[in-house]
Amino acid sequence: MSTEKEPLHTLVVGCLVRNAKDEILLIRNQKRGWEIPQGRVEEGENLIEALQREVREESGVEIEPGPLAAVWSKATLPPAVIFTFLGRYLSGDLQPSGDSVEARWIDPTEALAEVSNKVMKERLHVLLNYEGIINYRSYTLKPYQVLLEKDLGGSNTALK
């Protein structure tokens, strides 16, 4: 009888990528619509390697990872911890693959209007408004509800 346990949380990384024109990269996911590139961290992979791989796989571009901007904890099944970073475009042409069916550069002022998924819209909003302090949020789905919001290094706001 095996004593190994299944992981309690899936680790996910995401990135708000900006190019030299200050446009941001959005990919269109088959299920969720427009969003930032993101995906699961594979076994044995560190967060930065996973971040670079996910952006490359979903958009075809290489990035320079920047600061960790927000951490999300999805409390409903299947639970996940999502580390979201800022990043800078380095090279490559947009070539979506895998879960992404389209990728494009868009002006940040127009990006929120393109994102229809409530969770992804809020994630993008937080990243676009990053001011040097990591934002932490715990949330549930069905219905989407933020349970806790805390600026790590700042003030604490408990919701609900």
Structural domains in the chain plus CATH codes: 10-153 (3.90.79.10)
| CB distance 57 to 48 below 8 Å | no
Q: What is the pLDDT of residue 3?
A: 54
What is the overall mean pLDDT for the chain?
A: 90
Structure tokens, 151: 């600026």
Q: What is the pLDDT of residue 1?
A: 46
pLDDT for 156: 45
Per-residue model confidence (pLDDT) at position 7 = 58
What are the residue ranges in the chain where pLDDT is below 70? 1-7, 154-160
- Write out pLDDT tens, residues 35-80: 999 999 999 999 999 999 999 999 999 999 999 999 999 998 889 9
Residue 137, both tokens:
């949020």
pLDDT of residue 100: 86
